[in-house]
Amino acid sequence: MNKVLDTVDQRTQLVGENRLELLLFRISSTQLFAINVFKVKEVVKLPAINMLPGSNPKIYGVANIRGTSIPVINLREAIGFSKMPITDDSNLIITEYNRSVQAFLVGKVEHIINMTWSDIMPPPKTSGAHNYLTAITKVEQEGITHLVSIIDVEKVLAEIIDYDVSLSEGVLDESLVPNMPGRKVLIVDDSSTARKQVRDTLTPLGIDIIEASDGLQALRLLQSWADDGKQVADELLMMITDAEMPEMDGYKLTAEVRADPRMTSLFITLNTSLSGSFNKAMVEKVGCNEFISKFQPDLLVGVVQDRLRSLLVL
């Protein structure tokens, strides 16, 4: 199965071009699911699993992959389906999210598809607030159109891992606190869970949160303000954007903002579960001011405080 990921380094060139590649897999016989290839480290046939008595019921156990113990999440059960049957088609998709490595137990892994973010659509509003999807798309296979559901992995993990939004001692600069109420931050992220994590960190400081669920929605909002004669950089303390989103990714969003003289000075922080030197290079390429890998409340507040300090000095 690893051959599907052999050219992952080449795939990094898609980021910043409003393109992505999805790894398609099944957890039922009738429906296709997907996650972004950039989050995937490797795909392996299901190895021996050591059970963990007393663990979260969505944790299937622990797999030893080349000497490293990796928690295995039963993805089918984690998103509300019945228990995942183990068959010859069972695989582990090993991923890295928010600086942690975990494996997802799935059924048959199909193949990788190359798409543009404009091909990716938000979930239907009728799916409700409690679904586990960030987006949907369609693919053609043998003349048949299939609906593909893109998993909100951050939501899955948030229900298993307790993300603490409290700040470490000494992080909050008390001298800045009186200057925070009323400041506005725009959060752009297709994951409602990721938006909530940022909101729950910054709202207690008195910061007003404005939310957008994709890059195109955010860009249209900013453009509408500029069309109304507002100074976008004065309206917002900063924009915090995810990298991967339907219709327009965070890199493209940043490039569009920087290309518009009415908003080019807006302070932009990239906040993504993708990590590594590649992201830092992309931040410089498109013109983000800061990069934070999810989810780190201390660093998030640190960036907000640094931005506020710079404005107060001016």
The tens digit of pLDDT for each residue in 202-244 reads 999 999 999 999 999 999 999 999 999 999 999 999 999 998 8
Residue 285, pLDDT > 50, answer yes
Task: State residue 55's pLDDT score.
Answer: 82
The tens digit of pLDDT for each residue in 109-135 reads 998 998 888 888 888 776 655 688 888
Task: State residue 264's pLDDT score.
Answer: 94
pLDDT band at 144 (very low <50, low <70, confident <90, very high): confident
Residue 175, pLDDT > 90, answer yes
Residue 292, pLDDT > 90, answer no
Integer Cα distance of 42 and 26 in angstroms: 16
Residue 14, pLDDT > 60, answer no
pLDDT band at 166 (very low <50, low <70, confident <90, very high): confident
Task: State residue 275's pLDDT score.
Answer: 56
Helix axes 250-259 and 215-227, enclosed angle (nearest 10): 20
Task: State residue 251's pLDDT score.
Answer: 87
State the average pLDDT for the chain. Answer: 86
**Span 27-40, average pLDDT:** 86
Within the chain, where are the H helices? 8-11, 75-78, 153-158, 192-202, 215-227, 232-235, 250-259, 277-286, 297-313
pLDDT band at 7 (very low <50, low <70, confident <90, very high): very low
- Looking at per-residue confidence, does 187 or 162 come out higher? 187
Integer Cα distance of 293 and 295 in angstroms: 6
Q: Most confidently modeled of 15-19, 85-89, 140-144? A: 85-89
- Looking at per-residue confidence, does 215 or 30 come out higher? 215
Task: State residue 249's pLDDT score.
Answer: 86
pLDDT band at 82 (very low <50, low <70, confident <90, very high): confident
101 DSSP β-pair partners: 96
312: exposed, middle or buried (C-beta count within 10 Å: 0-12, 13-18, 19+)? exposed
Task: State residue 10's pLDDT score.
Answer: 46
The contacts of residue 82 (CB under 8 Å, 6+ apart) are: 76
Residue 15, pLDDT > 90, answer no
Residue 45, pLDDT > 70, answer yes
The tens digit of pLDDT for each residue in 248-282 reads 888 889 999 999 999 999 999 998 876 555 566 66
Tell me if 212 sits within 8 A of 257, measured CB to CB: no
**Span 173-202, average pLDDT:** 94
